[in-house]
Amino acid sequence: MLTLFAVGFQAKLLQAQGYAFGLKGGLTAAFQTWDNYGRDALYKPHGILFIESADDDAGSLFAQIGYHIKGAANRPKGRTIYRDLQGNLIEYKPSVIEYQFHNLSLTAGFKKKYGFGSNFAYYLLGLRGDYTLKTNFDQYKEINKYYFFYPDDVYVKKWNYGVTVGGGFEFPFSELVRGIVEFTVNPDFSKQYRQPPITNIINGLGQVYNVPERQISNVTIELTVGMRFMNKIEYID
């Protein structure tokens, strides 16, 4: 599929009077479902480099590569107030626990624009492949020795895939430079984490327990802003 897209993208660039490229970034709200129940959202920045064929009535093709931190969080809702040895009231609020998957994403797809005045609105649809570069699970290894609650890198699936759908606006700064505001939803079709049931685990206290199967999938919502630069090709006889 990506090979066919690459051939079509190259042909469209050759036929067009130029192409566009740029840089964009913004905020990712990442969500995951764990064992049929959700976690709190994880909020992290993202960055994307992109290239696309020149605009025409049929639309344009685009390809982009981005760095995205996906995952989820536990945000304790309550707080504890206790009195220390000196009789002072102390308020304790547990810290936020984050589950981070640092993913490199490659997306290829189609973009259709509609002009109004000097501005453009557009929608886009793309196929996406992700590769997980790292996680933050090392900090949970010691705790997992006593109770295997937190995810472990052994069960992380490095390669994942999904789609990117959304839309946005382009507004001109000059003939060759436009600003971008974009909103996308990015569900995965594959599982980022797949752990089978584990039985008869002996923890650091000598206790025996079982851990059920755990499967985790990603969905992100992204708000992105950026700059788009047009590179025109002029043919001289």
> pLDDT tens digits for 143-183?
888 878 889 999 999 999 999 999 999 999 998 999 999 99
Q: What is the largest CA-CA distance in the chain?
A: 90
Domain range for 120 is: 2-232
Structural domains counted in the chain: 1
Whole-angstrom distance, CA of residue 51 vs CA of residue 109: 11
For residue 126, pLDDT over 60 is answered with yes
Answer yes or no: is 223 within a domain. yes
Neighbours of 222 (CB within 10 A): 23
Answer yes or no: is 237 within a domain. no
**Residue 14 belongs to domain with CATH number:** 2.40.160.20
> pLDDT tens digits for 96-111?
889 999 999 999 999 9
> Can you give the pLDDT at residue 34?
79
Helix (H) / strand (E) containing 3: helix 2-15
Report, as an integer, the average pLDDT of 30-36.
82
3 state SS of 115: strand
Answer yes or no: is 131 within a domain. yes
Distance spanning both ends of the chain, measured CA to CA: 37
Answer yes or no: is 136 within a domain. yes
Whole-angstrom distance, CA of residue 100 vs CA of residue 151: 10
Picking from 54, 1, 44, the residue whose alpha carbon sits closest to that of residue 230 is 54
